Amino acid sequence: MKVLVAIKRVVDYNVKVRPRADATDVDLNNVKMSINPFCEIAVEEAVRLKEQGLVNEIVVVSIGPQQAQEQLRTALALGADRALLVVTEDVLEPLAIAKCLKVLCDREQPDLVLMGKQSIDGDNNQTGQMLAALTGYPQGTFASKLELTGDNKATVTREIDGGLQTLALTLPAIVTADLRLNEPRYASLPNIMKAKKKPLDTSTPDELGVSISPRVKLLKVELPAQRAAGIKVADVEELMDKLKNEAKVI
Amino acid sequence: MSILIIAEHDNSDLRPSTLNSVSAAQAIGGDIVVLVAGSDCAGVADTLSKVPGIQKVLLADNPVYSHHLAENMAPLVAEIAEGFSHVLAPASTTGKNLMPRVAALLDMQAISDISEVISPDTFKRPVYAGNVIATVQSSDEVKVLTVRSTAFEAAVAEGGNATIEQISSVHNQDACTFVGQELAVSERPELTSARIVVAGGRGMGSSEGFSMLEKLVDKLGAAMGASRAAVDAGFVPNDMQVGQTGKIVAPDLYIAVGISGAIQHLAGMKDSKVIVAINKDPEAPIFQVADYGLVGDLFELVPAIEAQL
């Protein structure tokens, strides 16, 4: 069984981004970039399935700049077998990414596509669902548990607003990872060295026949309204007094 | 312009978030039609028919829609969406699961989690965990949007008289089937629409710590929330998580107990009207957003607050 894992290069989750002075976009000069944390969980899940003997090949894919090779190498060090990079320096929207992934799914014919549920830059939470629409595959989004049940089916437990929902999906299927699906491992040094020799092929959206022209224009970015600094109260009595007589919320 | 809203409900009751989406639709302007897709959900359509501002309620009542599976719902919505300028749904897990699938079927680029309507094609939305607000303009023919419920007031629920129209279209498949669900049963108000939220973090120490917090929650008539750390530690179930990847809340009063205040948590609650933080660490980042901070041992302070109510 073959798994395709799609990953995104994003600003590291520890970086606090700020708008550029001209407010046209956020300032990403000289900031640390990493694999999107949800994508890393997706890679880990694929590696665990391979370790259980349920999967024999993991293909990791990214669509983005040349530097996304770094994140693909990280995924290879974590246990993916080979990598594909669709190179573009242009702004990418979820639909454009899903269209590229659709072409790659047609070529690679994976039994399972694993992705993060959202990227922590755009916070869109769209690409997996869009790829599911374009391929016609069933989708198990926001997954906190994934079991391959052997009869060409997967059981996915999803984190939903009221609790948990379980779905049975017939493969091929798209599964997007939530935080509690697993805890990703760290790549070992020997595996990082080995990953440098694993195959990494590149193409472009043009070669895939996909138009990635944006549909949505970013007009400006700004900081959210800041909260006025509050006060520290000395004790419970003062807190209760403030809540009753100043804020009037209880 | 004409706007289609996908109602969120559990087949018997309408979720309040749908009314926030109605407000967003009113801010866009145009005729408003609401789709209720589900099973034995005619009561939900009746409820919506009384909401002023809604011209028509479409009712697709069929067992294939009972669990709102995106595989069945998306082709239905895409079919109905023809001729509409906007398709909206609350940015809940149901809306987030469904709407991108609808958008891709229509070959439209969806816009997630809008927090303000600037004009019919221009919206504000939080990015980077709410650290930055982006203003975006769509050039697509149909704007497919999910709506951040806390950013829009709930529309008035009574006084309207919309017509209800049956939709007979059935989309079914067998590649995705519903197996089961575990939903939290609670007498407390719903987390995302409660007036008061009391949330606990890693500092609660255990599930027992949360039991102590429950007494305060119930005395205040509040909903209970939690940080990701508390959920990951297994103190409480995932549906209580407030934050970037959990629920977004904006109550009148948010009391954060034993929560340090990671930016991912702040992303989910910093629009609350009044924030109280109780933490033993005076340097905890939560105090930077709190209106009232109380430094000390929560195991002494929480019962003391409860005693004063």
* B140 contacts A94 by C-beta, under 8 angstroms: no
C-alpha B53/C-alpha B26 separation (Å) is 8
C-alpha A61/C-alpha A82 separation (Å) is 9
Does this model's pTM top 0.90? My answer is yes
C-alpha B246/C-alpha B283 separation (Å) is 25
**SS3 per-residue string spanning B217-268:** HHHHCCEEEECHHHHHCCCCCHHHEECCCCECCCCCEEEEECCCCCHHHHHH
Residue B244 pLDDT grade (very low, low, confident, very high; cuts 50, 70, 90): confident
How do beta strands B196-200 and A173-177 pair?
A: unpaired
Looking at residue B186, what is its pLDDT?
A: 86
Q: What is the DSSP string of B80-99?
A: HTTT-SEEEEESSHHHHHHH
| Percentage with pLDDT > 70 across chain B | 100
B120 vs A13, B22, B64, CA distance in Å? 33, 14, 33
CA angle A172, A142, A116 (to 5 degrees): 75
Looking at residue A10, what is its pLDDT?
A: 98
Average predicted confidence (pLDDT) for chain A: 97
Average predicted confidence (pLDDT) for chain B: 96
Looking at residue A226, what is its pLDDT?
A: 85
Closest C-alpha to B255, from B278, B232, B284: B278
How do beta strands B132-138 and A82-87 pair?
A: unpaired
User: What amino acid is encoded at B267 in this protein?
Assistant: A
* Residue A233, Ramachandran bin (φ over 0: left; ψ between -120 and 50: alpha; else beta): beta
Looking at residue A227, what is its pLDDT?
A: 85
Residues of chain B with Cβ-Cβ distance to A236 below 8 Å are 294, 301, 304-305, 308
How do beta strands A33-35 and A9-11 pair?
A: antiparallel
Looking at residue B245, what is its pLDDT?
A: 85
Residue A34 pLDDT grade (very low, low, confident, very high; cuts 50, 70, 90): very high
Q: Is B133 in Cβ contact with A169 (below 8 Å)?
A: no
Q: Is B263 in Cβ contact with A16 (below 8 Å)?
A: yes
Q: Which of residues 194-253 of B touch A (CB under 8 A)?
A: 196, 220, 228, 231-232, 237-239, 244-245, 247, 252-253
Residue A52 pLDDT grade (very low, low, confident, very high; cuts 50, 70, 90): very high
Average pLDDT in the B246-274 region?
95
Check if B185 contacts A (Cβ < 8 Å): no
Q: Is A216 in Cβ contact with B301 (below 8 Å)?
A: no
The neighbouring-strand residues paired with A20 are none
Residue A28 pLDDT grade (very low, low, confident, very high; cuts 50, 70, 90): very high
Average pLDDT in the B148-166 region?
96
Looking at residue A67, what is its pLDDT?
A: 98
| Percentage with pLDDT > 70 across chain A | 100
Q: Is A223 in Cβ contact with B132 (below 8 Å)?
A: yes
Q: Can you tell me the ipTM of this complex?
A: 0.96
Average pLDDT in the B262-274 region?
94
Q: How far is A198 from chain B (nearest CA, A)?
A: 32
Is residue B233 over pLDDT 90?
A: yes
C-alpha B176/C-alpha B3 separation (Å) is 29
> Which one of B96, B263, B295 would you mutate to disrupt binding with A, by most A Cβ within 10 Å of its Cβ?
B96
Q: What is the DSSP string of B149-215?
A: GGGSPPPP-SS---EEEE-------SSEEEEEEEE---SSPPGGG-SEEEEE-GGG-SHHHHHHHHH
Q: Is B175 in Cβ contact with A173 (below 8 Å)?
A: yes
Which residues in B149-170 are b (16+ Cβ under 10 Å) and which e? bbbbebbebeebebeeeebeee
User: B168-222, pLDDT tens digit by residue?
Assistant: 999 999 999 999 999 988 889 989 989 999 999 999 999 999 999 999 999 999 9
Q: Which of A155, A235, A239 sits opposite B179 (nearest CB)?
A: A155
How do beta strands B274-279 and A82-87 pair?
A: unpaired
C-alpha A26/C-alpha A46 separation (Å) is 32
B111 vs A62, A216, B44, B84, B133, CA distance in Å? 22, 8, 26, 16, 13
Residues of chain B with Cβ-Cβ distance to A19 below 8 Å are 132
User: A64-105, pLDDT tens digit by residue?
Assistant: 999 999 999 999 999 999 999 999 999 999 999 999 999 999
C-alpha A17/C-alpha A116 separation (Å) is 21
Residue A19 is classified by DSSP as B
User: B1-52, pLDDT tens digit by residue?
Assistant: 999 999 999 999 999 999 999 999 999 999 999 999 999 999 999 999 999 9
* A167 contacts A158 by C-beta, under 8 angstroms: yes
Tally A–B CB contacts below 8 A: 250
* A155 contacts A125 by C-beta, under 8 angstroms: no
C-alpha B151/C-alpha B114 separation (Å) is 8
Residue A179's CB is within 10 A of a number of other CB atoms, namely: 24
Q: Is B112 in Cβ contact with A249 (below 8 Å)?
A: no
User: A202-230, pLDDT tens digit by residue?
Assistant: 999 999 999 999 999 999 999 998 888 79
Residues of chain A with Cβ-Cβ distance to B144 below 8 Å are none
Q: How far is B242 from chain A (nearest CA, A)?
A: 11
The neighbouring-strand residues paired with A62 are A7, A85
Q: Is A247 in Cβ contact with B274 (below 8 Å)?
A: yes
Q: Which residue of B has its CA nearest to A10?
A: B128
Helix axes A94-108, A127-135, angle to 10 degrees: 50
